[in-house]
Structure 1
Amino acid sequence: MRWQDVLADPSLQNLPYKIELNEKGVIEMSPASFSHSRLQAKIAVQLSLQLGGEVFTELAIQTSQGVRVPDVAWGSESYTLMHQAELWASSAPELCIEILSPSNTAKDMLERVELFLQAGAIEVWLVEENGTVSQYDSTGQITTSRFAANLTSLLCQPLTLTHDP
């Protein structure tokens, strides 16, 4: 299966989870939890406010191992102009972010980091639901990002629910 086949398949429209294609063209599905989706949105908002440019959620990116979909990504205006006519991105934007789930293994996540970097990302961030952020570039794990975005204030905020009387 190719990505254009996935996009054209009516049975795969409006799924409540993201799908990816592995290197063999097989669909891999990964449902997101409520807290995962919430954190994804908060990160997207903060990147937009702090960096400008374009923020993407669930951006389909062609990698050497098939189409992969980071939870959040950030791209410059030039990246967006270069890719805006594509059905899926032929290269990764400058920053790709994955929110870790309990089912993720360290090996799998480090493989994803490498795939996004090989596809053109400058940095890849791995975000744990407890607020820990690990940042990587082509040299490995780094302590200081090139991107002036601070996510620490939003990551540890508890969920507050209100209801109408």
Structure 2
Amino acid sequence: MSILATPVKNQRERWAEISSDPVLCELPYKVETNRRGQLILSPHSASHSDTQGDLIALLHEHTAGGQARPEFPIATSKGTKGADVVWCTSERRDEMEGTGDLPTLAPEVCVEVMSESNDWDEMAEKRPLYRDAGAEEVWVVTEEKGIRFFADEERDRSEVIPTVPDRL
């Protein structure tokens, strides 16, 4: 597990403040923070939400167990990041719960969906953040519905869930 640039207590306090703010909870945006705790807002779109739903269905189809969840917050060395979709085993979820309500341990798989509000530079920054927090793989779904798999480097297929295709 990595050492966080912002102390975990401060990240948890900031995230608790953000997640309990009724105004912020009603915003139609994905909410994350940078390493200083400042808000980063990304707009949602129907197609982005559809892709998240398709990913969750795909994960359920290709796994016998585990949990797939949308918009999952993870404490990283550069603030709280919200993976668009995550997948984890029940054992990992128990470990994650042991790190606190804003987990400092990432699920086995963190997935980001490309959209008009992000780019490959952002993905290049997020991938190592999730990996440093313990993700075994980070997947990026392209706007063309291709799935790219990353660990230390890009892979042709997932090694965590080998039957998952490289397209939605």
TM class, shorter-chain normalised? Answer: 0.7 to 0.9
Q: Partners in 1 of 2:27 and 2:97 — Cα distance?
A: 23
Pair 1:81-2:85 in alignment: no
Q: Report if aligned partners of 1:127, 1:133 keep a CA contact under 8 Å in 2.
A: yes
Identity of aligned residues (%): 33
Report how many residues are paired: 153
Seen in structure 2, the aligned counterparts of structure 1 residues 11 and 47 have a Cα distance that, compared at 3 Å, is same
CA RMSD of aligned residues (A): 1.7
**Offset at residue 64 of structure 1 (A):** 0.5
Q: Partners in 2 of 1:118 and 1:94 — Cα distance?
A: 12
Q: Partners in 1 of 2:19 and 2:117 — Cα distance?
A: 26
The amino acid of 1:150's aligned partner reads V
TM-score normalised per structure 1 = 0.85
The amino acid of 1:21's aligned partner reads T
**Offset at residue 47 of structure 1 (A):** 0.5
Q: 1:68 aligns with which of 81, 84, 92?
A: 81
Which position in structure 1 is the counterpart of 2:46? 34
Q: Report if aligned partners of 2:141, 2:147 keep a CA contact under 8 Å in 1.
A: yes
The amino acid of 1:107's aligned partner reads D
Q: 1:19 aligns with which of 16, 21, 31?
A: 31
The amino acid of 1:129's aligned partner reads E
Which position in structure 1 is the counterpart of 2:112? 98
Which position in structure 2 is the counterpart of 1:160? none
Point out where structure 2 has 5 or more consecutive residues left out of the alignment.
1-12
Q: Partners in 2 of 1:131 and 1:68 — Cα distance?
A: 22
Pair 1:55-2:68 in alignment: yes
Q: Partners in 1 of 2:135 and 2:29 — Cα distance?
A: 24
Q: Report if aligned partners of 1:60, 1:89 keep a CA contact under 8 Å in 2.
A: yes
Q: 2:138 aligns with which of 100, 120, 124?
A: 124
TM-score normalised per structure 2 = 0.83
Q: Report if aligned partners of 1:23, 1:64 keep a CA contact under 8 Å in 2.
A: yes
Q: Report if aligned partners of 1:47, 1:149 keep a CA contact under 8 Å in 2.
A: no
Q: 1:145 aligns with which of 131, 145, 158?
A: 158
Which position in structure 2 is the counterpart of 1:4? 16
Point out where structure 1 has 5 or more consecutive residues left out of the alignment.
156-165
Equivalent residue of 1:44, what SS?
Answer: helix
The amino acid of 1:124's aligned partner reads V
Equivalent residue of 1:60, what SS?
Answer: strand
Q: Partners in 1 of 2:135 and 2:87 — Cα distance?
A: 10
